[in-house]
């Protein structure tokens, strides 16, 4: 078996793309999208009809509403080619707005359900800010499952699990980028700070019995992916999926529930004050969270400009 086939024995493979035409070749169970991926997709000729239809059908609505319909249109197409779930991200501009995030999550699920898609097949994706985590706590109680993204620290992960979030997406590659830039070190996969962060979170969750799923994300190379074989899920871009499919050689499981209790983690309790202080003390997590929110907001703004120009 190639490395992709072997990886699927240990881990649920997820496609990290808005390009649903490229998904089928890798037979992932789930798929994830974000504003940057959707922006990239709608600039391709094969996806312009989806954008044009969303604009045409929502001429009397705001650009934000049109984007919601566009996101759901992509989600519906993706769900036709995968057996599992799609993650659809809310506007990053709501990252510090609990009530706004709750309302947007409900709106997106309503659109999916109106299209005949069960809410169990959709994950509402939002930033793992304190406000986003509180929104997820409310939505989860309503059966609206959440994928907490832009996650860079154990504190964020603990708060998400305590809130009952369905899934978290710790960003391996962006953590790696920060440490590589700040130290000048070319980390091996086993020493990679992003990889180590996910291992620490996975072992903590399994040791203390949290049901929240861990999905490593934002990979820069296949070495990072293989070091996390055994993680609940890994969301991988099409180019790295192809590299795994093209590569032979035995891979071994690196993470398992059986080994987690020996990881030496100590139970941590976080309220809002402790959460905010710990996040502030972590320079990498603070900078990457802020940067990620700004970048997603910028790409949403570009998408709004495209839509406005089509009206």
Instruction: Give Cα 37 to chain centroid, integer Å.
Output: 12
Can you tell me the distance from the alpha carbon of 68 to that of 71, in angstroms, rounded to the nearest whole number?
A: 5
Q: Taking the CB of residue 36, how many other CB atoms lie within 10 A of it? A: 18
Helix (H) / strand (E) element for 183: namely helix 172-183
Of 201, 236, 35, residue with least CA distance to 126: 35
- The whole-angstrom separation of Cα 200 and Cα 203 is 5
Angle at 299 between CA 295 and CA 302, to 5 degrees: 140
Buried b (16+ CB within 10 A) or exposed e, 74-96: bbbbbbebbeebbbbbbbbebbe
> Which parts of 57-175 are beta strand (E)?
86-89, 122-127, 146-151, 167-170
What is the rounded distance in angstroms from the CA atom of residue 279 to the CA atom of residue 273? 10
Phi, psi of 205 (to 5 degrees): -60, -50
Coil, helix or strand at residue 95: coil
Residues assigned a catalytic role = 125
Query: Nearest 5°: phi and psi at 281?
Result: -70, -20
């Amino acid at each position: 078996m190639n490395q992709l086939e072997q990886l699927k024995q240990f881990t649920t493979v997820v496609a990290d793309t808005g390009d649903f035409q490229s998904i089928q070749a890798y037979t992932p169970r789930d798929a994830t999208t974000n504003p940057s991926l959707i922006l990239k997709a709608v600039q391709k000729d094969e996806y312009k009809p989806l954008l044009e239809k969303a604009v045409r059908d929502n001429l009397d609505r705001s650009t934000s509403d049109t984007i919601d319909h566009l996101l759901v249109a992509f989600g519906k197409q993706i769900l036709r080619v995968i057996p599992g779930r799609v993650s659809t991200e809310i506007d990053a501009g709501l990252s510090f707005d609990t009530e706004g995030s709750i309302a947007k999550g409900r709106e997106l699920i309503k659109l999916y359900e109106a299209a005949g898609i069960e809410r169990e097949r959709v994950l509402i994706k939002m930033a793992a800010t304190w406000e986003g985590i509180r929104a997820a706590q409310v939505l989860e109680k309503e059966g609206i499952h959440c994928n907490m993204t832009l996650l860079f620290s154990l504190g964020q992960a603990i708060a998400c699990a305590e809130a009952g979030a369905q899934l978290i997406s710790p960003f391996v590659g962006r953590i790696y980028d920060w440490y590589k830039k700040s130290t000048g070190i070319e980390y091996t996969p086993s020493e990679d700070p992003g990889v180590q962060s996910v291992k620490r979170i996975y072992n903590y969750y399994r040791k203390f019995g949290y049901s929240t799923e861990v999905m490593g994300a934002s990979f820069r190379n296949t070495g990072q992916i293989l070091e996390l074989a055994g993680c609940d899920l890994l969301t991988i871009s099409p180019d790295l999926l192809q590299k795994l499919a093209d590569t032979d050689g035995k891979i071994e499981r690196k993470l398992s529930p059986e080994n987690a209790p020996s990881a030496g983690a100590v139970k941590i309790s976080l309220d809002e004050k402790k959460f905010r202080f710990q996040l502030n003390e972590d320079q990498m997590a603070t900078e990457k969270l802020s940067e990620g929110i700004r970048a997603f907001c910028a790409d949403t703004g570009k998408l709004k400009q495209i839509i406005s120009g089509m009206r």
